[in-house]
């Protein structure tokens, strides 16, 4: 079961990496610079990526593609409380 976070631009210190389906090069999106828009936690969603690989001949791939990701949130009780399901 997913739930909306009501966050328009979600920045976080992680990298989403995938192989381009057209040219096979590794595409990385740093989420500390590029955000997730209105992510839903606990539920898979499509995320758009763009390949800008340039080969030795100067040709660009310029492929836009989607990957399926899921954002999970974990809440851990540290001191003086318990975390229980609602």
Q: Which two tokens stand for residue 32?
A: 């500390």
CA-atom Rg of the chain in angstroms: 17
pTM for this entry: 0.76
Q: Above 80 in pLDDT, residue 1?
A: no
Phi-psi region of 38 (alpha: psi -120 to 50; beta: other; left: phi over 0): left
Residue with tokens 């499509």: 46
What pLDDT digit, counting tens, does each position of 6-37 carry?
Answer: 899 999 999 999 999 999 999 999 999 999 98
**In the structure, what pLDDT confidence band is assigned to residue 5 with cuts at 50, 70 and 90?**
confident
What pLDDT digit, counting tens, does each position of 33-68 carry?
Answer: 999 988 889 999 999 999 999 888 889 999 999 999
Spatial separation of the C-alpha atoms in residues 78 and 86, rounded to whole Å:
19
CA 6 to chain centre: 16
């Amino acid at each position: 079961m997913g739930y909306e976070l009501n966050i328009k631009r979600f920045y976080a210190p992680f990298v989403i990496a995938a192989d381009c389906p057209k040219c096979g090069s590794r595409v990385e999106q740093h989420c500390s610079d590029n955000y997730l828009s209105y992510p839903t936690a606990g539920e898979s969603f499509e995320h758009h990526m763009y390949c800008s690989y340039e080969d030795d001949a100067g040709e660009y791939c310029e492929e836009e593609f989607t990957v399926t990701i899921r954002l999970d949130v974990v809440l851990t009780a540290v001191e003086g409380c318990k975390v229980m399901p609602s």
